[in-house]
Structure 1
Amino acid sequence: MFPQSWRLLYPLLFLLAGAAQAQPAVGDAIPAFDTQLLDGRTLPAKSLAGKPVLVVFWATWCPTCRKELPELQKLYEKYKAAGFEILALSIDAERIEVDEFWQDHRYTFPVAMRTARHSEIFGVTRAPPRFFLIGRDGRLALRHFGAIGYQQLETALKPLL
């Protein structure tokens, strides 16, 4: 058995671990972050500042993600000129699978592998897709888990443009 002091500390440690993986709420300011893209370039935080940005956690093995990505491409093409950006963060274990998938489908918005920094900011993703729409002011405007569809994303995006 654990000593009495450990029995008292265990619930506290459990709560602290959960807090470290907390997810941002709508209205929260999202910290700036740089991202190393699959093509080797760095997407600096300053290039996203002042723009509406959709951060999408996805995976090549996720059927819902595979269905949503073409819709995201359409949304990106329609609103990119207005400053809209998408950052797709893969939770796949192997980068090569993501590289091949992205090349085969020819999506044009930035893609990267999820990093520890992304998980610090957005929480741990185990079941994609997850969507985080950040407004020009750097605050979270939409948080959605699971399938969302073009229409719902466009409705959330338009006021941010």
Structure 2
Amino acid sequence: MKHITPAAADLYVASARRRWLLGTAAALATAHWAGALAQPVSAAAEEAKAPPLPSLGSVLDVPRLTLLDGSVFDPARTQGQPLLVYWWSSTCPFCALQSPSMDKLWQSQKGRGLQMVALSIDKKPEDAVAYLKKKGYSFPAGWASPEWRKAFPKPKGLPITLLRGRDGKLLLAEKGQMFAEDVEAIAGLI
């Protein structure tokens, strides 16, 4: 029979205790993450299921929407006019770079008949309102709630810029940040 020293026995007990604690921690973590995975679909999962950009020449029908300022975007009022649809978020760094150019385009072209609706995908409409106020943007903006997006799904990517011509057909469909000169060039399509 082998003799075990008291120090070796203490080392064995400490090692067994560490293995038990690590195993218990792993089991608790697994239970926690399994519950987290059972939660509602995340924004990343929703984005993965998003449709591609609509094809140029396709008809673009945007549903009615209450804007963040309380007014209503009525698609019937945009018939026969160019319509710029801009998907954005207050947390999107690329939107932060593109939005000043979008506001400048709106200011310079609304007199030529340009209609616009900027669709915030922020988690809460209050986040979008605060951001617009802080930045001083004047373009018409609404909050694209999850329910509203069922009727008009956001294409994959952000920001998304769509331009519908006077005939109701899509002239421009861009995913990702557009540079200032690219946004300015939209005026030539109106």
* TM superposition score category, shorter chain reference: 0.7 to 0.9
Alignment of 1:2-21 (within 5 A): 21=51
Name the structure 2 match of 1:145.
Answer: 175
1:74 shift after superposition: 1.0
Name the structure 2 match of 1:10.
Answer: none
Question: Partners of 2:68 and 2:179 in 1: how far apart?
Answer: 25
Root-mean-square deviation (CA, aligned residues, Å) is 2.1
Over 3 Å counting, the alpha-carbon distance change for 1:60 and 1:125 in structure 2 is farther
Name the structure 2 match of 1:9.
Answer: none
Name the structure 2 match of 1:70.
Answer: 100
1:127 shift after superposition: 3.8
Out of 109, 117, 122, the position equivalent to 1:87 is: 117
Paired AA for residue 117 in structure 2: L
1:71 shift after superposition: 0.8
Name the structure 1 match of 2:63.
Answer: 33
Which aligned segments of 4 or more residues in structure 1 are displaced greater than 3 angstroms? 20-23, 115-121, 123-127
- Partner of 2:158, secondary structure, is coil
1:67 shift after superposition: 1.1
Q: Give the structure with higher Rg (CA).
A: 2
Over 3 Å counting, the alpha-carbon distance change for 1:93 and 1:134 in structure 2 is same
Name the structure 1 match of 2:135.
Answer: 105
Question: Partners of 1:77 and 1:90 in 2: how far apart?
Answer: 19
Query: Structure 1-normalised TM-score?
Result: 0.78
**Which is bigger in relative contact order (C-alpha 8 A, separation at least 6)?**
1
Alignment of 1:107-122 (within 5 A): 107-115=137-145, 116-118=147-149, 120-121=151-152
Name the structure 1 match of 2:44.
Answer: none
Q: Structure 1: which 5+ residue stretches go unaligned?
A: 1-17
Count of paired positions = 141
Question: Partners of 1:21 and 1:87 in 2: how far apart?
Answer: 20
Q: Is the 8 A contact 2:53 2:175 kept in 1?
A: no
Q: Structure 2: which 5+ residue stretches go unaligned?
A: 1-48
Does 1:53 pair with 2:83?
A: yes
